[in-house]
Amino acid sequence: MILLLNGPPYSGKDTIANIIVKNYTNWNHKKLSRPLKQTIRNAFSLSPVEVDFLEVNKEQLVDVFNNTSYRDTQISLSEEWFKPRFGDNIFGKLAVRELKFIAGHTVYSDCGFSSEAREILLAFPKQVRVLRLYKKETNYDNDSRDYLSAQFFANKTYMQNLNNNYDLEMLEIQVRKVMAAWSIYPREN
């Protein structure tokens, strides 16, 4: 299975991906933004410690990026270089290449563009599932991403919604329910 997590910033995408990897057998956590992050890391000679700091502080203005945030630097690289040069679907195409070499299941915790999801769905039509996340006070304002449309799926059960408005324990319960709806069950300890 290939699971695409779709939700605005701070809606819990990485938290859910970590819950899945921790509790389910043979799952890999990946990001469609990996090529952006690698390019920035290499171009700016960032150490692993610096990258970890930037991942936690995505909105903080950083001197090395000319007082731009890590998030805005990624968006700029994506929208001003990668996509104009290689097409709006480039990160979906790169994910398809990556998926051909991954054993097991994969959860992408940062899917927000229909063009990217379409590439993955075309390559793996029966394997793709989408979990759309909703959380109070999170939205796509000031963001080029958006919710994926159910129109992509002939089988509507391939797309589920989750309201992440509770504590971590409730979130884990909701994740288990969604995964069970897709016949995926947690590993036994």
SS (H, E, C) 46-106: CCHHHHHHHHHCCCCEEHHHCCEEHHHHHHHHHHHHHHHHHCCCHHHHHHHHHHCCCCCEE
> Residue 40: what pLDDT?
97
pLDDT of residue 156: 67
pLDDT means per 10 residues, the chain with 189 residues, are 96 97 96 96 96 94 95 94 97 97 95 94 93 96 88 76 95 96 88
pLDDT of residue 188: 81
Question: What pLDDT is recorded for position 155?
Answer: 67
Q: How far apart are CA 71 and CA 60, in angstroms?
A: 9
Given this model, what pLDDT does residue 52 score? 94
Amino acid at 128: V
The reported pLDDT for the residue numbered 189 is 66
